[in-house]
Structure 1
Amino acid sequence: MSFQAYLDTIEKKTGLTPREILAIAAERGLDTPPLKPAAIVDWLKDDYGLGRGHAMALVHVIKNGPTISEKHVGTDGVHSDASTELWLDGAASNPAAGQA
């Protein structure tokens, strides 16, 4: 699953865009150093039923912003992403939707 697909699945499971979840994390103080991934994972599991993999995708975005490594960009594998920039404003509004 691509990194963007993780975020899109999180939106489907929670009804919230990744940006909305980031705002809630900020309200809870979960985005301030030192970042505590376990606290974020526990919160996402308890409040939204997200598993560790999806939660860790959000931990990455909370820690690093919407940029990912070029490692899988443009590859043919299942983890291939179209860009190093992740779309946080909802799958339906993603201008790159349908492009691969």
Structure 2
Amino acid sequence: MSFQAYLDAIEDKTGKTPRVLVEEARKRGYDAADVKAGVIVGWLKDEYGLGRGHAMALVHVVRNGPTISAKHVGSTGSHRDDRDTLWLDGRATRPSA
């Protein structure tokens, strides 16, 4: 599953775009460097019913923004993506490829 597919699935499950969830995390102070991933994962599980894999994808975006490693772009690995920048504003507004 691509990184973007994880974010799309999060939107489907929660009804919120990744950007909205990142903003919620920031308001809670979860973007601070000393916040452990488990805290964010726990919040996403309790509040939205997200599993660990999906929550960890969002943890990455909370900590690092929408840019992913170029090693995943155009690769054949399990987390391959077409671009190095993830779309956070929802599937309905994503520009076509």
> Normalising by structure 1, what TM-score?
0.91
Q: Does 1:60 align with 2:89?
A: no
**Contact 1:10 1:18 (C-alpha < 8 Å) held by counterparts:** yes
1:34-78 CA-partner distances (Å, limit 9, x unpaired): 131010000000000000000000110111110001112112444
Percent sequence identity is 63
**Contact 1:35 1:63 (C-alpha < 8 Å) held by counterparts:** no
Q: Does 1:35 align with 2:48?
A: no
Distance 2:58 2:69 in 1: 15
1:29 partner SS = coil
How many residues of Structure 1 are paired with residues of Structure 2 in the alignment? 97
Distance 1:37 1:44 in 2: 11
Backbone CA RMSD of aligned residues? 1.1
> Normalising by structure 2, what TM-score?
0.93
Structure 1 moving runs of 4+ over 3 Å: none
Shift in Å at residue 28 of structure 1? Answer: 1.0
Structure 1 residues without counterparts, runs of 5 or longer: none
